[in-house]
Amino acid sequence: MSQPETPGGGGRHLRLPSAVAALISKLPQFPCSLGLAMGLNLVVRPLLAAQTSEVLRGRVIAIQVDDAGIDMRVRLGDFGFVPLTSATAAEVTFRASACDFYLMARRIEDPDTLFFNRRLRIEGDTELGLVVKNALDAIDWQSLPAPLRPFLDRWAGLFASAAEPPSAAAHRGTARARHSSPR
């Protein structure tokens, strides 16, 4: 993963390698929206307050993963979140890198910090954006259903190893080689 400077001067952050991003961006977008809708229905919808559900009902929310070229759109309907195509106009759009979305979901990074460092951008209806952000902030992500935790832990390992300085990885590899070689 590359580590470019953030536009807002907030330091370095992880981005998907350009080859991976190029491949992912060529994939159809609707399956990503379908996956997002399913995940929201499984994890978020049961925890939404009735008042929040009413504000979100019928509103189009877009999640754009900049470094992956993914544009997911959903709307909360009577029976849950419904996937939409990218041709549907969004009322609010959240944009960030894959790593930054992951860090927010795991509460490793605060959305407000990412926003003020210009690593999370919220465009469109500001009031709706705040409702969505506050609803997600209120969720205890550690209480996710057990089958989802290994998936998130796998991503944690990916981002942690990518964030490790090359010198540390090289040192660890050298140490492993020393311990595994015959004496």
The CA-based dihedral angle spanning residues 88, 115, 68, 61, taken in that order and rounded to the nearest 10 degrees: -20
- List the domain boundaries for the chain: 18-144
Q: Which whole number is the average pLDDT over 88-116? A: 90
3-state secondary structure 38-104: HHHHHHHHHHCCHHHHHHHECCEEEEEEHHHCEEEEEEEECCEEEEECCCCCCCEEEEECHHHHHHH
> What percent of the chain is modeled with pLDDT above 70?
69
Q: Which residues have a Cβ under 8 Å from the Cβ of 45 and sit 6 or more positions away?
A: 53, 76, 80, 81
Could you report the per-residue pLDDT of 125-165, keeping only the tens digit for each? 999 999 998 888 777 766 666 666 666 666 555 555 555 44
CATH topology of domain 18-144: Nonspecific Lipid-transfer Protein; Chain A (3.30.1050)
pTM score, whole prediction: 0.73
As given in the structure block, the two tokens for residue 139 are: 């969720």
As given in the structure block, the two tokens for residue 8 are: 């807002």
